[in-house]
Chains A and B, each alone.
Chain A
């Protein structure tokens, strides 16, 4: 029961969606299933928030290392939650002024919008921007041309890094002009050797080839994994035996 029913649910849901793709009569079943899917996705956000609360409350009660910061996390969580749910500072929708709760929860002038623009946005953006510094550090410490493959990788990276800025044109245009002059070729005929054009060539030919193979490989992997899930062969999502 604990494992059989979920396997059946997964199989039925999956096969209904596959069949609804091919049989127009069943299209509405597929749409209904997807709306339920979307509702559960929304509930998953609630579950995530609840899980965060549970984890950090346990950390505080057990006085594990860093529990002070858990207080900060929970405070930020509860304050944001209250302001968001209560639509604090949100005016009603202009088309429905007599309904005080009709306004958009994320208006710029509301409390939730304030939190987003002045706390979430700058802090989240800055967190990700730190990667630029770590890439630079990794470039110096880790990227070594130890063998042929690494040299090809780094060589391509150099071409792309040069070619995707004005430096590519600035550095390679004089070289192309010189080559045109000494070879007597028609003006502009060797323009394809300019670094920005070489980058475009790499993009439109070599990257297409490599990524297409990767895409095909991933597609086959996803198809086999999906079939294994639907047929009940892969049960890892059910967790441990209980």
Chain B
């Protein structure tokens, strides 16, 4: 049976050390701390604030306000390409900002064109479109928004849609001819978009939209990205990217910016998803800082002792 279901000893718990093995008078040897205690601490630092509903006030920073101003500054009814390129692995971080963008655009009655370059993002598009169906019943499919769905090819898709969209997208996700929909009947390519809003988790994503659409064709663009993807995009601001939202903090600030402008949205708890996630975020950050300091204290103490 062992060859069918072999054990991977690399990740087995160390047999000679248990979390309570005494290595010091306190009963805890921090030098050889079983990492499962750290995992537990991380888990509790997120679970407890979440269950207690710890929420902190957020003040939109200048970079968030730049993004907000870009969307708000468009004339009502402008054409916006909603390029949502994220998958289930990053939805925890990006869904709040994706939803905030949808609500903000819907408040401004912008015409929305949903598209994605990631195969696993199609249900994410559906979830954001469900916000329109639920909270903005006046939004009519085919007249106010359209779901173009996914096409494989990464940056190859951008290269085509930026010159002739219908060569790649003859139909929407429901198989309807784009020439039959009022919103897309006269759409030649995405150069006619007033703004590209890209929410992206990696490649292909914001960088590709900047390189193949925003820069060569001078299309205004804002992006919402994960923490990992944030710093490489900063050089594009503000000439190639009007603004970026980086990680859940920026999502929470953007939600707050939208709520300050449209206070009636505060009655809907779903508009504060990012804000609710900042409570656990703070505690977990403090834990990580504490762990780094703790690890370095042990390191320097040992170095001074000559261990």
Q: Taking beta carbons and an 8 Å cutoff, which residues of A are in contact with B? A: 27, 30-31, 34-35, 37-38, 41-42, 44-45, 63-69, 93-96, 102-104, 106, 108, 113, 116-117, 120-122, 124-125, 127-129, 132-133, 135-137, 139-145, 154, 157-158, 161-162, 164-167, 169, 196, 200, 203-204, 207-208, 211-212, 214-215
Alpha-carbon gap, A37 to B249, bound state (A):
38
The 8 closest A-B pairs by CB, nearest first: A38-B153, A68-B4, A166-B56, A128-B89, A212-B235, A121-B88, A140-B291, A165-B282
Is A136 in contact with B296, judged by CB distance below 8 angstroms? no
Is A35 in contact with B232, judged by CB distance below 8 angstroms? no
Is B296 in contact with A144, judged by CB distance below 8 angstroms? yes
The one of B41, B43, B62, B151 in contact with A38, judged by C-beta atoms closer than 8 angstroms, is B151
Is A67 in contact with B4, judged by CB distance below 8 angstroms? yes
Is B160 in contact with A167, judged by CB distance below 8 angstroms? no
| B294 located at the interface, meaning its Cβ lies under 8 Å from any Cβ of chain A in the complex | yes
Contacts of B52 in A (CB 8 A): none
Alpha-carbon gap, A34 to B168, bound state (A):
10
Is B294 in contact with A140, judged by CB distance below 8 angstroms? yes
Contacts of B63 in A (CB 8 A): 200, 203-204
Is A167 in contact with B286, judged by CB distance below 8 angstroms? yes
Alpha-carbon gap, A164 to B252, bound state (A):
11
> What are 19 A-B contacts defined by CB distance under 8 Å?
A34-B160, A37-B153, A41-B156, A68-B4, A95-B175, A116-B120, A120-B88, A125-B88, A132-B46, A136-B38, A139-B288, A140-B35, A140-B294, A144-B295, A162-B289, A165-B278, A165-B281, A208-B237, A211-B232
The one of B42, B175, B237 in contact with A136, judged by C-beta atoms closer than 8 angstroms, is B42
Is B61 in contact with A133, judged by CB distance below 8 angstroms? no
Question: Looking at chain B's contact residues, is the secondary structure mostly helix, strand, loop, or mixed?
Answer: helix
Is B292 in contact with A139, judged by CB distance below 8 angstroms? yes
Contacts of A94 in B (CB 8 A): 174
Query: Chain A's nearest CB lies how many Å from the CB of B121?
Result: 11
Contacts of A63 in B (CB 8 A): 3
Is B288 in contact with A164, judged by CB distance below 8 angstroms? no
Given contacts A96-B175, A125-B88, A166-B282, contact A140 B295 (CB under 8 A): yes
Is B285 in contact with A162, judged by CB distance below 8 angstroms? yes
The one of B3, B87, B160, B295 in contact with A139, judged by C-beta atoms closer than 8 angstroms, is B295
Is B153 in contact with A137, judged by CB distance below 8 angstroms? no
Question: Looking at chain A's contact residues, is the secondary structure mostly helix, strand, loop, or mixed?
Answer: helix
Alpha-carbon gap, A165 to B6, bound state (A):
44
Given contacts A66-B5, A95-B174, A113-B123, contact A137 B39 (CB under 8 A): yes
Is B175 in contact with A164, judged by CB distance below 8 angstroms? no
Is A125 in contact with B89, judged by CB distance below 8 angstroms? yes
| B109 located at the interface, meaning its Cβ lies under 8 Å from any Cβ of chain A in the complex | no
For window 261-307 of B, CB contacts with A under 8 Å fall at: 278, 281-282, 284-289, 291-292, 294-296, 299
Is B42 in contact with A132, judged by CB distance below 8 angstroms? yes
Alpha-carbon gap, A133 to B160, bound state (A):
41
For window 226-272 of B, CB contacts with A under 8 Å fall at: 231-232, 234-235, 237, 246-247, 249
Query: Chain B's nearest CB lies how many Å from the CB of A167?
Result: 5
| B57 located at the interface, meaning its Cβ lies under 8 Å from any Cβ of chain A in the complex | yes
Is A65 in contact with B3, judged by CB distance below 8 angstroms? yes
Alpha-carbon gap, A102 to B278, bound state (A):
43
Q: Apart from A37-B156, A93-B175, A104-B175, list 13 A-B contacts with CB within 8 A.
A: A103-B175, A122-B88, A124-B87, A127-B89, A133-B43, A141-B35, A143-B295, A144-B295, A161-B285, A165-B282, A200-B62, A200-B63, A212-B235
Query: Chain A's nearest CB lies how many Å from the CB of B274?
Result: 13
For window 28-75 of B, CB contacts with A under 8 Å fall at: 33, 35, 38-39, 41-43, 46, 56-59, 61-63
